[in-house]
Amino acid sequence: MTKTVTDTLTGMYFTLDDPDGSYASGQIIRLAAEGVYLVRFDGNEVPLPLELVSLGEMLGTTEEEYKLWRFFDTIEERDKWIEWIDTPSTPRVISLVRPSK
């Protein structure tokens, strides 16, 4: 009897949050074994070697229950997320004093 393994992550792009506030990005290359994927992190100059990552690691969260891994269907979606996250927010000033008449 053959057991079929469902693979829904191969080809997807990702970002991975680091505890220091930075992030890494890359692509899921292929299923290596049930529940384990070969991923390639983006390098600055050259592609980095493939790494094995389990589904358990991909489902990891911080102590505050924030997801560490975010998945995207296309590189454009991932790049749009990265652009949004890297854009500094503009501070807003809220006046707590009522104007006098």
Instruction: Tell me, yes or no, whether 34 lies in a domain.
Output: yes
> Whole-number mean pLDDT of the chain?
86
* More reliable by pLDDT, 62 or 47: 62
User: Domain for residue 21, yes or no?
Assistant: yes
Among residues 9, 63, 15, which one has the least CA distance to residue 35?
A: 9
- The answer to whether residue 34 scores a pLDDT higher than 50 is yes
Whether 101 shows a pLDDT value over 90: the answer reads no
What is the β-pairing status of strands 13-17 and 23-33?
Answer: antiparallel
Looking at the domain assignment, is residue 91 inside a domain? no
- pLDDT recorded at residue 93: 75
Per-residue tokens: 6:
């469902």
Give the residue numbers spanning the domain of 22. Answer: 13-76
Over residues 20-31, mean pLDDT: 91
Q: Is 84 inside any structural domain?
A: no
Find the farthest-apart pair of alpha carbons in the chain and give their distance in angstroms, rounded.
84
Interior angle at CA 62, CA 75 and CA 24, nearest 5: 30
Greater confidence (12 vs 46) lies with 12
Residue 5 lies in a domain: no
Question: pLDDT > 90: what percent of the chain?
Answer: 50
